[in-house]
Amino acid sequence: MSLFQENFDFVRPTSLDQLNDLVKEYQEKGLEFAFSAGGTDVIPKLKSQPSQLDKFISLNGLQDLNNVKIQGKRISIGALTTLSDLASHELVREHLPTLATAAHKVASPQIRNRATIGGNIMVDNRCIYINQSSINRECHDPCFKADGNVCHLVKSARRGDEILCQARFVSDTAPVLLLLNAKITIIGPNGARTISLGDLYLKDGIDSRSLQVGEVITTIEIEIPEDTSLHYEKLAIRNALDFPSLGVAVRITGNNLSIALTGLNTLPGVFHANSSNYDTFNDMVSAISTQAMDFAKTYQQDFFPRGYRKSMIPVFIQRGVTSILKDRQ
């Protein structure tokens, strides 16, 4: 039977106005609420740790947000588009093939049929201690991220530290979206706003997103790139289901080389280099690889040894560069 640790109520608004009204009502009454799109991240979390949830707000009734549209030179992706729909969508495969690849690398077929793109860019950070079943977690004291008072990864961590929790950022689609300069539209009790995807991410593993309480992502907008010289590569213990131990997206446009990293730090890393600043192309690649390796946090918070993950960063960058240059020939 159900392993949920609290009783909550289920609501499914069918319009954004209705959603905002509900949020305002719950805020006034001081009720705890959580949003769920596919639920593949939220529901296991609710099962594995106690919370004070009063209202479970399913976003699946907002059918207007489940589509991919092209408007001139922009592609607009509704946040409720499932990862399998995104990966197989004609427009995405034609104009943003690397995004389709990254979406296809998330979790497993069953999860991609349910999980959404909005959910994947919001997917909660995790470390080797928190990303476990409730049974496993009973063996440890609850950590800061589980409202406890200890960090199993950094024993010296104390409340008040600038970065309290080192749980890793693990979205597969975000690195590609970041290199495509995606913008996200957010709606909440105080109206709508549009920000760059990069501004969504904060550097603490607990409060890792800049959304205000009651805000949800509605659409992701991408300007169609002139060329599609992108590549995404993922390192995971097995191809099915695992979060990225390391994910590297590479983009080459004109004289610029850009990379975006996932799985290495509490937030994604984005680095740019321009070939005019370097003697050779290879110098540029090694310089950006060094920056990426400096960005990696080397805590033992993954099943791969930390040194291995770090040493694979330049390998993945080189693979991406090679693959893009080969495609261009």
CA angle 54, 57, 62 (to 5 degrees): 165
CB 111 within 8 A of CB 241: yes
Smallest gap from residue 38 Cβ to another protein (A): 9
Q: Are strands 33-36 and 9-11 parallel, antiparallel or unpaired?
A: unpaired
Rounded to the nearest whole angstrom, what is the least distance from the CB of residue 171 to another protein in the complex? 17
Look at strands 246-253 and 256-262 and give their pairing: antiparallel
Q: Which stretch binds another protein (CB under 8 A): 21-29, 72-80, 101-109, 185-193?
A: 101-109
Asked if 237 touches another protein (CB under 8 A), the answer is no
Per CB under 8 A, does 141 bind another protein? no
- How many residues bind another protein (CB under 8 A)? The answer is 33
Q: How many CB atoms lie within 10 A of CB 49?
A: 17
Note whether 60 binds another protein by CB under 8 A.
yes
Provide the mask over 246-285, with x wherever binding to another protein is found by CB under 8 A and - wherever it is not.
----------------------------------------
CB closer to another protein, 114 vs 152? 114
Name the H helices within the chain. 16-29, 42-48, 83-88, 90-95, 97-104, 109-112, 117-122, 134-137, 173-179, 281-295, 306-328
56 near another protein (CB under 8 A) = yes
- How many angstroms separate the CA atoms of 120 and 52, rounded? 24
Does 18 participate in binding another protein (rule CB under 8 A)? no
Contact between 129 and another protein per CB under 8 A:
no
For another protein, the binding residues (CB under 8 A) are 1-4, 6-10, 12, 39-40, 43-44, 47-48, 56, 58, 60, 84, 107-111, 113-114, 133-134, 238-241
